[in-house]
Structure 1
Amino acid sequence: MTAPRLRQLVIAAETLEAADQLGELLELGAPFVDPGVKEFGLENRVYALGDQFLEVVVPMADSAPARRFIDRVGEGGYMAIFQTDDLNALRARVDGMGIRRVWNIDLPDISASHLHPADIGGAIVSVDEARPAGSWRWGGPAWRDNTVPGRLVSAAMETPDPDGLAARWALALGLTVDERVLYLEDAAIVFREGPVEKLAAFGLYRPDAEAILSRAEAMGLDVDGREIRFAGVGLSLLE
């Protein structure tokens, strides 16, 4: 089994206007609206960035887990989706760790399992096996037509116990911790100290970073160096 890929990062927001604002800020292509997320009491927008994805989910029902998440901690990083080439092995490993799988699906083109955030820690983690590997059902049928240049480079987890959380994620994903960092096939997950356990920041590359920073300031968003505060998440624009 090769190292997993970081394929999709998800923000939980109060309104769909936030999803539109994200598309405007990063000059993303047309988003995919996935009717399947109604199962979770959500509406969403999924934007393609290279062959990776940024998603905004908005709770439409009081019973939605994302509603409880926002009520508890506010808008912010909600979910990280990784791609594996051996989901059966990963399912067996997390089952052995006592990590509950709260949702599973097996379709001809993709299989996926969501890991309980209370067990894995920090966020909902989904691990998916796409067939073929370059496909991605959750991006919609036209994502290749709507993608823009760029990629997801990293995600940062904040927690009072970065060593413990990093070790748990590493064991679940079949990786080794290197100084509080998990190195994936194409990205890195960084664990840093913070008062609350949360998915705090996304590192991404877009070739027009300076224009994005200027646009963020014009939109009235908080900008600190190369990081934009957006819907509770730090969007770090990397060189």
Structure 2
Amino acid sequence: MLRLRQIAMVAPDLAPVEEVVGQMLAAEVCYRDPGVGKYGLHNALWALGGTFLEALAPLQENTTAGRYMARRGGATGYMVILDTDDLAPVRDRLAAQGTRIVEDLTVGDAALHATALHLHPRDTGGCLLSIDHHGPDGGMMGSYMWAGSAWQPYANASLAISGAMMTCDDPAATASRWSHILERPAVPHGAGWRVTLDNAALDFMPNNGPAGEGLAAIRVAGLTIPARSCGLDFLPETNQ
């Protein structure tokens, strides 16, 4: 099992993003994760079905997220977070490939826990990628450490993140790297390439702008009109 569970975006200030996203998605913030404080950040999280949208903003100078914004020219998509039911083969595959893990994080206890593997961006391209395992309940509406233990009542069940689009200097090469890491095939799709997960699709498109490679858009099943926030396009799901 390999699913898209969370999209993270980063902005200079959190409050304006919260207002826009809350109205756009008709959803309340379901959690604020104190764990991001160690990175010099604060956050807000929204539950869309069993998928999640996160907005981050720096609380101090010289954060990794702040430097990423500086390179991208402002607020932007930041990270794709996947989850799987078994990280052991993922670890073995990454080691065999020489794909570097920049953070190997395990938190929680028997009642709620997660392990996250943050991969080196130079080994992935496209954007930051994390592959996680959450427990003890692996269902889409079950355990999700980054949303705490009581996120379900806040979920907008009519929406779900169904895809992410990255702009790439070389879409074929980047899609091939992600395909190799995720052990899912990359196939031509429109002007770019696509890697399909169990619940979503990842698209790799040509980079035609000055910001360089990055997470440029997400698709949201149930969204009726396109929208934009935090440097990210929110697109209705068209099944194309």
Q: TM-score, normalised by structure 2?
A: 0.87
Q: Which residue of 2 aligns with 1:41?
A: 40
Paired amino acid for 1:83: D
Partner Cα separation in structure 2 for residue 52 and residue 58 of structure 1: 20
Partner Cα separation in structure 2 for residue 161 and residue 28 of structure 1: 36
Q: Does 1:147 align with 2:155?
A: yes
In terms of fraction of residues, the more helix-rich structure is 1
Alignment RMSD:
1.4
Superposed, which structure 2 residues align to 1:50-65 within 5 Å? Answer: 50-65=49-64
Q: Which residue of 2 aligns with 1:14?
A: 12
Which has the larger displacement, 162-171 or 87-96? 87-96
Partner Cα separation in structure 2 for residue 81 and residue 52 of structure 1: 10
Paired residues in the alignment total 220
Q: Deviations over 1:37-73 (max 9, x none)?
A: 0011110001000011000010112221100001111
3-state SS, counterpart of residue 229 of structure 1: strand
Q: Does 1:203 align with 2:219?
A: yes
3-state SS, counterpart of residue 201 of structure 1: strand
Partner Cα separation in structure 2 for residue 21 and residue 112 of structure 1: 29
Paired amino acid for 1:177: A
Partner Cα separation in structure 1 for residue 33 and residue 164 of structure 2: 23
Q: Which residue of 2 aligns with 1:215?
A: none
Q: Does 1:116 align with 2:120?
A: yes
Cα deviation, residue 8, structure 1: 0.3
In terms of fraction of residues, the more strand-rich structure is 2
Q: Which residue of 2 aligns with 1:186?
A: 199
Which has the larger displacement, 130-139 or 88-97? 88-97
Superposed, which structure 2 residues align to 1:68-83 within 5 Å? Answer: 68-73=67-72, 74-83=74-83
Q: How many percent of aligned residue pairs carry the same amino acid?
A: 33
Q: TM-score, normalised by structure 1?
A: 0.87
Q: Which residue of 2 aligns with 1:221?
A: none
Partner Cα separation in structure 2 for residue 79 and residue 193 of structure 1: 18
Q: Which runs of 5+ in 2 are unaligned?
A: none
Partner Cα separation in structure 1 for residue 29 and residue 7 of structure 2: 17
